[in-house]
Amino acid sequence: MTDTLRLDVWLWRARFFRTRTLAADHIRGRGARLTHNGQTRRIDKPATAITAGDVVTLVRGAHISAVEILDLGTRRGPAAEAQALYRLLEEDK
């Protein structure tokens, strides 16, 4: 069985949002794009399951960030630990 995690929990653990509620509200309101096994789809449900290797694209303010999920993590740790959970693919300025 593949390990999975809710998208809002992962975004909180990876420190994209200060709280899990903010992450969930962002996904519900602005959405995100998830690329899984070569298929990209728009996500608007915070409970969407993600796995390592997926690519998440987020719009935050005027910035678009695409990150590859390297690890799901086990907790919300310090910034260095959070940065090890993903690899930045591209970012609009």
Phi, psi of 26 (to 5 degrees): -65, -45
Q: How does pLDDT run across 35-86, given as a tens digit for each residue?
A: 999 999 999 999 999 999 999 999 988 889 999 999 999 999 999 999 999 9
Which CATH code fits 5-91?
3.10.290.10
Higher pLDDT, 28 or 61: 28
pLDDT score of 62: 87
How far, in Å, CA of 74 to CA of 9, rounded?
10
Pairing mode, strands 49-50 and 5-6:
antiparallel
